Amino acid sequence: MTQYPRKTQVGIIGSGPAGLMLSQLLHNAGIDNVVIDRQSREHIEARVRAGVLEQGTVKALHEAGVSQRLLAEGLPHDGFHLSFDGELHRIDLKKHTGQHVTVYGQTELTKDLIQRRLDQNAPLIFSADNVTPDALISQSPCIHFEKDGTRHTVQCEFVVGCDGFHGISRQSIPDDVLRVFERVYPFGWLGILCEAPPIAEELIYANHPNGFALCSMRSPSRSRYYIQCDTNDNIENWDDARFYDELEIRLGDSIAASLVRGDSFEKSIAPLRSFVAEPMRYGNLFLAGDAAHIVPPTGAKGLNLAIADVRILHDAFIKHYRQKDSSGLENYSTTCLQRVWKVERFSWYLSMLMHQIPTHSDFEKKMQRAEFDYIRDSEAASKSIAENYIGLPLNI
């Protein structure tokens, strides 16, 4: 019978990028930890997610010791494009900030982190049933779980919830303590992944009367495309031909001329929401990543925001264990939320600018166009977008 840890310093619920990154950084610092997830390794590694990494996220991967494939396969991007009715405007990241972003799929990043944990024989428990954090306001919190029909308990000094929007961690905070802020958008993104060269060397965010479109990539031979759709739409309504026809319309003739119609091998519809839970700490439970906040994917902030949480929390644990200074842990929620709300603002702003909003009047549509024209003609406006896109500092 497999022996599972009965005691650890930091118990982590969730093996997405946030949980895995925190686990690796803590391991490198000599801080004992265990990761527990209700999903299987196969399920986790098959999830298709974001692919634009801020430099802070890349730095964390270097520090974690899992940047070898990133360096070999990641695509540095010095800018990206906004398109309005087929008119392009390039946001020059390098010019305005001196920095760039890197295109590298979240799926690959997750695989790298999982393999690193397994290579080091670190406690990483998949397919655990009934994972439950307990005694969170005591000095001895714990995590209960079932594995192969046997009940287990891991005694912890701290518990970190990295188990996503639907996870148990945030649900463990009493209703009279937790405050939730949410905006659900009346549309979703229909996305496909295909084996075909990207339409352009940099990402294109497009606004068209038919709706939003995004041209992205995962590699020089693999493309990721999205179009705005109704939240109640069905994937079965969209074969590849119809999807590409609509994408071409939204991009305009000059951009669409470079489109290669590759057969899709993944297709999904994702709803869009803005969501923040406050506080991000309850007793000795800390929330990180999607367990605490969701941003619409416009602007590529979800993964990067999760890694920023982890970097802040990792530094706080280092101060606690090495310097006997718990101020970082005590201030974790306040520190993170100051940054979270600024990132939420940018993702909301870009979403409202680039999508067709069903409730918008003709006046509001004219305001969208005026805003695009202002960005196109204003160096300061373009610089502001660039500064937000490459990632805000951790402590702001």
Structural domains in the chain, CATH included, are 10-83+104-181+273-355 (3.50.50.60)
| Phi–psi pair at 135, nearest 5 degrees | 55, 45
Clarify whether 244 is annotated catalytic. Answer: no
pLDDT at residue 396, rounded to an integer? 61
pLDDT at residue 395, rounded to an integer? 75
Dist CA 269 CA 324 (whole Å):
47
Considering 225, 226, 321, 389, which one is annotated as catalytic? 389
Clarify whether 226 is annotated catalytic. Answer: no
Considering 77, 96, 147, 208, which one is annotated as catalytic? 77
Q: Which residues pair with 293 in a beta bridge?
A: 276
Dist CA 245 CA 95 (whole Å):
35
- For residues 356 and 211, is the Cβ–Cβ distance under 8 A? yes
Clarify whether 59 is annotated catalytic. Answer: no
- Per-residue b/e over 226-258, b at no fewer than 16 CB within 10 Å? bbbbeeeeeeeebeeeebbebbbbbbbeebbee
| Helices 106-119, 55-64: inter-axial angle, 10-degree rounding | 20
In tens, the pLDDT along 193-203 reads: 999 999 999 99
Considering 104, 185, 205, 244, which one is annotated as catalytic? 205
Clarify whether 220 is annotated catalytic. Answer: no
Which two structure tokens, joined as six digits, stand for 386? 């660039």
Q: How many helices (H) and strands (E) does the chain have?
A: 14, 20
Q: Which residues of the chain have pLDDT under 70?
A: 1-2, 396
User: pTM of the entire structure?
Assistant: 0.94
Clarify whether 332 is annotated catalytic. Answer: no
Sheet of strand 150-155: strand arrangement = 129-134, 142-147, 150-155
pLDDT at residue 49, rounded to an integer? 73
- For residues 77 and 102, is the Cβ–Cβ distance under 8 A? yes
Considering 27, 147, 301, 320, which one is annotated as catalytic? 301
